[in-house]
Structure 1
């Protein structure tokens, strides 16, 4: 039997045109992306999570555009107000059941009910739903990063693994969490540059030659004509780009522009988080992945912050105090989001930036450290390739539909993934 790597050919060709139907093989690509999108940068999606909520007096945003006012927690995002969408009042119904912490985190990105006792069961999270579709186009389907080790204990009859994982590949499988910057780096860059970093035709030639030897003569002619048309289109895009008529998109980097991190986990939590932020940006910039979650800490976190002069109390206990030190830690977490936004916004992709082509969702398992999950803190940064209207604040607190999963249905639509239901919702969130 002829062995054909359908995924490799789709990786080279599927971004702009589908594989033609061949009568002698049961291979027909289903990617019907219009030709006009051949020069457009892809959309990326990332979730940044900070456990235990935020200072009750300083998580807020009001107004619109450059006139938007931000509470002190969100002050690090001041420069990106026009690319911010602040969402108030959403909640996850299943987070109000079970216990605190675990039941407020394990289903944050799925809205699924959680199993208690010794069973582990949640739901497939939005990032992994996206990875099932868009992950086929990149070397790494999704990147799942963390800065604090998983907690294997049990809290009030629920596994604390729920508090340690927001990304779930299936209802019974939390996606493996990469805590070591060096290993995350190696996963992205340990072998040669992905075929998608080269020309479309060069990326698929080897597989095309293997395919050609296993099809009929008429299909060989059809494939030759098809590959010639690919080359012609590619050359036209390149020529148009040099004339300033069209930006033929390529990953900004062909190889890392930072050295491989040292083995192990850095002792400095600030350094650890910053390395993970850099790896996220590199992954997007090189188009090695388009889907990422970065868990800055666990819910019920035991992190301390000597880098901030806050080393006398672990994060979880600090969250029960509305103190200046709690605010300082909150701002430190938001600074990681702002740093990623800064870096992506400095990467030009035609008339847009990488931030314009991304959606960064920043959220927590509760609004405040008092375990208030009746509403959740949610902010989006980036315009999702123009699909997301930003520079706005939206309030759903008194609306009949204020489910987090309604937001997820709306966001999935913007990535071309149209579902009838997700989690506990069958309706989109109006206004998003």
Structure 2
């Protein structure tokens, strides 16, 4: 096949729209010409960028069921982590890390506002924390992409004050500066628009319709296998567009039971899906598209707030047979270790498993997108019933571009220098960002 020359960042373009391409063997998106790589015996996936995805779920987990033992495919998992059974050999279970500053307030806000920074938290309703490590990466590593970082959420921010601490701390894990939580996008349609449209305008026509002509021109210039890959990618974008247009038209309403079983006015074109499971899956699909197209390499997804008010009518209750788990908000449910609390925990980890599975289905040369990603799931306390954060629940799934060996349990409990920020330094190092220190950490974790 005759080699073709493309710019380092390759886009499909239309009126008001730019849509980045996924990895294609015929096109040099990240590095040297494919033909030149092949002649030199270079695996093209070795030049793929490393991505970071941070998923957060508030209020901790079941106190007896967050654990892992052993290694590789024979690793044993507690019931909370059961959804990640297929990814045991790709997972780091990191035990014993903590934030010293987060232990001072002993309340949800003071334990969450520095989740990704380890910085001191201001009390008295004042807003002051620290720049989070995802935004440290966005300020340098993220400059290579259209969107330095994508910050997504599935529950609205809470602006109130609780026990002398602003609840904005509970609502945000990503901070652009010590006094500025990074704006959180709750609307799938607007998150999608931000990826693909030069100016977000929900009323505009389909992104795909705008770039089809350019896509057809490109299709004639790539290999047969890349044509199939391009078709699959465009189909996935179309599917997300369709789901966004239908979001909120089905499923059960969150929270209290309203007097109407159906809205009595026409649903707005853009909104938040009423089915929390659909909301989370849509956000994950958009996250994957952002990574797959290299439109962004850094994404945080806050599945819910700490001190969360979410309910889960989509999950059948094991404690109240015949009902969904909507008889109690997430925060209050976390104060017990009942069967329904465990079921909600597993629901959150199912979202991580769903994301890992999608990333692992996308090939980038000899690797998958999961191989080139660091996917971290964390919470700001171990168990909601005790608000205990002397060690924090943290797992990392994915290969970090071949720089992380999975299938391991790493235990720092009882050891000195067990700052969680040391893990963040190690993760930044995998993305070739090397600050001298971060938060309360001065050195990386050698084992990661």
Smaller-chain TM-score range?
Answer: 0.7 to 0.9
Q: What's 2:249 paired with? A: none
Further displaced range: 158-167 or 281-290: 281-290
Given candidates 307, 310, 315, the residue that maps to 1:300 is 307
Q: What's 2:325 paired with? A: 310
**Cα deviation, residue 250, structure 1:** 9.8
**Cα deviation, residue 115, structure 1:** 1.1
Q: What's 1:381 paired with? A: 397
After superposition, give the CA deviation of every residue in 1:228-265 in whole Å (9 maximum; x if it has no partner).
xxxxxxx9xx9xx999xxxxx99984682423213201
Q: Does residue 372 of structure 2 align to residue 372 of structure 1?
A: no
RMSD of equivalent CA atoms: 2.8
Q: Does residue 50 of structure 2 align to residue 69 of structure 1?
A: no
After superposition, give the CA deviation of every residue in 1:386-410 in whole Å (9 maximum; x if it has no partner).
0011110000001112110011111
**Cα deviation, residue 274, structure 1:** 1.0
Paired with 2:231 and 2:446, the residues of 1 have a C-alpha distance of: 34
Q: What's 1:102 paired with? A: 109
How many residue pairs match? The answer is: 363
After superposition, give the CA deviation of every residue in 1:395-429 in whole Å (9 maximum; x if it has no partner).
00011121100111111111100111000110111
Paired with 2:293 and 2:239, the residues of 1 have a C-alpha distance of: 13
- Cα distance 1:342–1:10, how it changes in 2: closer, same or farther (>3 A)? closer
Q: Kindly indicate whether the alpha-carbon contact (under 8 Å) linking 1:363 and 1:377 is maintained by their aligned counterparts in 2.
A: yes
Given candidates 84, 92, 101, the residue that maps to 2:91 is 84
Paired with 1:92 and 1:190, the residues of 2 have a C-alpha distance of: 39
- Cα distance 1:375–1:170, how it changes in 2: closer, same or farther (>3 A)? same
Q: Which has the higher helix share?
A: 1
Paired with 2:238 and 2:291, the residues of 1 have a C-alpha distance of: 13
Q: What's 2:100 paired with? A: 93
Q: Does residue 194 of structure 2 align to residue 187 of structure 1?
A: yes
- Cα distance 1:256–1:419, how it changes in 2: closer, same or farther (>3 A)? same
Q: Secondary structure at the match of 1:152?
A: coil
Q: Secondary structure at the match of 2:151?
A: strand
Runs of 4+ in 1 over 3 A off after TM superposition: 9-17, 35-39, 249-255
Given candidates 332, 338, 342, the residue that maps to 2:347 is 332
Q: Does residue 120 of structure 2 align to residue 139 of structure 1?
A: no
Given candidates 162, 168, 172, the residue that maps to 1:161 is 168
**Cα deviation, residue 11, structure 1:** 5.2
Given candidates 399, 404, 409, the residue that maps to 1:393 is 409
Mapping 1:109-120, distance limit 5 Å? 109-120=116-127
Paired with 2:132 and 2:230, the residues of 1 have a C-alpha distance of: 29
Paired with 1:411 and 1:329, the residues of 2 have a C-alpha distance of: 28
Paired with 1:416 and 1:405, the residues of 2 have a C-alpha distance of: 16
Q: What's 1:418 paired with? A: 434
Q: Kindly indicate whether the alpha-carbon contact (under 8 Å) linking 1:48 and 1:361 is maintained by their aligned counterparts in 2.
A: yes
Q: What's 1:256 paired with? A: 237
TM-score (norm 2): 0.76
Structure 2 residues not aligned, in runs of 5+: 1-6, 11-27, 33-40, 199-206, 246-269, 316-323
Further displaced range: 268-277 or 313-322: 268-277
Paired with 1:93 and 1:52, the residues of 2 have a C-alpha distance of: 18
Q: What's 1:218 paired with? A: none
Q: Does residue 369 of structure 2 align to residue 354 of structure 1?
A: yes
Structure 1 residues not aligned, in runs of 5+: 1-8, 18-34, 203-234, 244-248
Q: What's 1:32 paired with? A: none
